Amino acid sequence: MSMLLLDLLGTFFFAVSGSLLAARKKFDVVGSLLLASLVGLGGGVCRDVIIGQGVPNAFAQPVYLLPPVLATLLVATRVVHETRVRRPLLLFDAGGLALFCIVGTITAHEAGLHAVSAALLGLTTAVGGGVMRDVVANEVPQVFNPRGVYAIPAMLGAALTVLTLELGWFGVVAGCLIAVFVFVLRVLSIRLEWHVPLAGGGTIRTNDV
């Protein structure tokens, strides 16, 4: 039950990020609904297809359509809208990331996957939807933006989730702490412009990007 709520909340956060990107790209409300659904549901569908235990939740339970619909409405009525420095998109995306790395890891762990595999699938769930959103909107995915760290908080969140699950310590408190940790880490990394070394060696210079 609480897993469903967490999953729906994460879906909603990601869906808002999708609708905000749709607004920035001048898509219409139907495109907004589709992009919101893709980012909100895409990661979870991939996870469920990989686990291979029946029809993915997003298709089996119509309640999963509500978050994208709500997100589309909130953005279309400008209750949520982008400001000059486009922070809302990043914040909602960070919220989805924080919840999905936990929900994805738990789902994979419950399906009987190895601890490492469960964490990897949690990371895939968390990062997958956002990659689809950005690819479909013809942008380089945020996960590859060398300003700030994106995958590292999700990796840590998935690892902490699987660790506490294995130790029998996972519960509401642990889940909340991990989610807050991932969210704060992601947001701080954008604010403070953390970066890790570049793929080909060296580090980013201030004037790049």
| Contacting residues toward its own copies, per CB under 8 A | 19-20, 22-35, 45, 49-52, 54-56, 59-60, 62, 65, 72, 75-78, 81-82, 113-114, 116-117, 120-121, 127, 131, 135-141, 143-144, 146, 149-152, 195-201, 204, 208-209
Q: How far is the CB of 50 from its own copies (least distance, A)?
A: 6
Q: With respect to its own copies, which residue has the nearer C-beta, 69 or 173?
A: 69
Structure tokens at 202: 């060296």
HSE (side-chain half, CA atoms, 13 Å) at 64: 22
Instruction: Pick the closer one to its own copies by CB: 38 or 98.
Output: 38
| Minimum CB–partner distance for residue 156 and its own copies (Å) | 12
Are residues 128 and 13 in contact, defined by beta-carbon separation less than 8 angstroms? no
Q: Quote the least distance from Cβ 138 to its own copies, whole Å.
A: 5
Rank residues 9 and 82 by Cβ distance to its own copies and give the closer one.
Answer: 82
Is 98 or 113 the residue whose CB approaches its own copies more closely? 113
Q: Which two tokens stand for residue 85?
A: 């420095």
- SS3 for 149-162 is CCHHHHHHHHHHHH
- In the complex, what is the shortest distance from the CB of residue 117 to its own copies, in angstroms, rounded to a whole number? 5
Q: How many residues does the chain have?
A: 209
HEC string for 31-60: HHHHHHHHHHHHHHHHHHHHHCCCCCHHHH
Rounded CA-CA distance 44/42 in Å is: 5
Closest CB to its own copies among 27 and 181?
Answer: 27
Write the DSSP symbol of residue 143.
G
In the complex, what is the shortest distance from the CB of residue 37 to its own copies, in angstroms, rounded to a whole number? 9
